[in-house]
Structure 1
Amino acid sequence: METLALSWWLWLLLGLALLAGELLTPGGFYLIFFGAGAMLIGALKLIGFDWSLPTEILLFVVASVAGLLFFRKPLLQRFRRLTPQIAVDALTSEIACSMEEIPAGAVGKVELRGTSWNAHNLDESTIPKAARCRVERVDGLTLHVRKI
């Protein structure tokens, strides 16, 4: 009687699907390890290892969880170190461009350094669309601006 097992290409396909899932979902490096585990099992089957389905699944889980435990934290630290951080205090005195009309004292949208920001109009007059405005201060993700 032949044992039930997945073909090598199914494991590789599952691995690619999990890697694609990692790219499409927010989160912090979980699916990538399961994708790598599936691809490892597929590669081992391709070079000649032949196991039953329960053994394949066990090896897949062990390889994936081991990768998760040993490599997730170092990868997260490396990517956080490579991600440029914007010092929001450095945005003070920068020139932004209003993306919409912002009435006096109201909140609207401005563009600064290629990014859309919420902006509170500190002026007593409306800031028209596409007008230049100066950032007076930053509060969290809101810029407080005045028309130039």
Structure 2
Amino acid sequence: MPWWIWILIGLVLLGVEMVTPGFFLFFFGVAALVIGAMVAFGVGGPEWAQWLLFSAISLVSLLVFRGPLVAWMRSQELVSPVDTLQGEVATPLEDLSPGAVGKAELRGTAWTVQNGDKGTLTKGQRCRVYRVEGLTLWIQAE
């Protein structure tokens, strides 16, 4: 098979992989590109050998690299910045009685907070975020 057909197949498979999840077609696309390059440089051999090599490269790379690649991609998933606020120090911008909702400053931004402490939190007092519910931070005195 001509080298350009292998390259075209590889590019189509990589393009389809971009719109499908799972890192499955990626390895077949890369294998087709490798075979296309080999045929272009004259080391592809007969057509049956190209298909055999394509199958071997696809399956071996799929079995060896797919698991670690999927695990790495899952570990790179973004954590919502709001979820990282638990344990941070916030300072109320107003006095907050127990259970009251108000504003507090955290990381240079005003947040909606709820006083989860038994006592009143005064303006400027150091408080710790102990719970996050949506965009509301629950704070208590340090």
The two structures have a TM-score, normalised by structure 2, of 0.55
- Pairing of 1:55-134 with structure 2 (within 5 A): 55-86=49-80
Q: Percent identity?
A: 40
Which segments of 5 or more consecutive residues in structure 2 lack a partner in the other structure?
Answer: 86-131, 135-142
Q: CA deviation at 1:85?
A: 2.7
Change (3 A) 1:50 1:77: closer
Offset from partner CA, 1:76-99 (integer Å, 9 cap, x none): 1211121113388679xxxxxxxx
Q: CA RMSD in A?
A: 2.6
CA distance in 1, matches of 2:44, 2:70: 34
For structure 1, the residue ranges without an aligned partner over 5 or more in a row are 1-5, 92-135, 139-148
Match of 1:51 in 2: 45
Larger radius of gyration: 2
Q: How many residues align?
A: 91
Give the TM-score, by structure 1 length: 0.53
